[in-house]
Amino acid sequence: MSIAILVPTLGRADKLVPLAENVADTTPRGEYALIFVLDHADTASLEAVKAAPCARYVFCDGTYPVKINAGYRACNDDLILPTADDVVFHDGWYETALEEMENWVQVLGTYDLTPSTEDGSHATMPIIRRSYIEGPGAADTETGTVFHEGYHHNCVETETCQLAMRRGVWKFAKNVVIEHRHHAWGTREADETDRKGNLANWDEDMTYFHRRKAKWERR
Q: Residue 155: which CATH number? A: 3.90.550.10
**Percent of the residues in the chain that have a pLDDT greater than 70, as a whole number:** 91
Question: 33 vs 72, 77, 156, 166, 206, CA distance in Å?
Answer: 11, 8, 22, 30, 31
The pLDDT of residue 60 is 97
Q: For 133-182, how does the pLDDT look when each residue is reduced to its tens digit (9 = 90+)?
A: 999 999 999 999 999 999 999 999 999 999 999 999 999 999 999 999 76
- pLDDT range class, residue 116, cuts 50, 70, 90: confident
Give the Cα separation of 112 and 128 in Å (integer): 16
Domain count, the chain: 1
Q: For 133-145, how does the pLDDT look when each residue is reduced to its tens digit (9 = 90+)?
A: 999 999 999 999 9
Question: Is the distance from CB of 164 to CB of 156 less than 8 angstroms?
Answer: no
Name the CA radius of gyration of the chain, rounded. Answer: 16
User: What is the 3-class SS of 100-142, one letter each residue?
Assistant: HCCCCCCEEEEECCCHHHCCCCCCCCCEEEHHHHHCCCCCCCC
Kindly state the average pLDDT of the residues 47-61.
97
Residue-averaged pLDDT of the chain:
93
Return the sign of the alpha-carbon dihedral for residues 138, 143, 144, 148: negative
Strand, coil or helix: what is 24? helix
**Percent of the residues in the chain that have a pLDDT greater than 90, as a whole number:** 86
Kindly state the average pLDDT of the residues 26-44.
97
Q: Is the pLDDT of residue 183 over 90?
A: no
Q: DSSP for 27-95, please give it.
A: S-TTSEEEEEEE-TT-HHHHHHHHTSTTEEEEE--S-HHHHHHHHHHT---SEEEE--SSEEEPTTHHH
- Higher local confidence (pLDDT), 202 or 178: 178
Question: 178 vs 67, 89, 96, 97, 125, CA distance in Å?
Answer: 20, 5, 12, 11, 8
Where in the sequence is the domain holding 197, given as residue range(s)? 3-218
The pLDDT of residue 200 is 67
Kindly state the average pLDDT of the residues 56-66.
96
Torsion of CA 121, 84, 102, 219, to 10 degrees: 50
Q: Is the pLDDT of residue 185 over 80?
A: no
Model pTM score? 0.93
DSSP state of 146: S
The pLDDT of residue 21 is 98
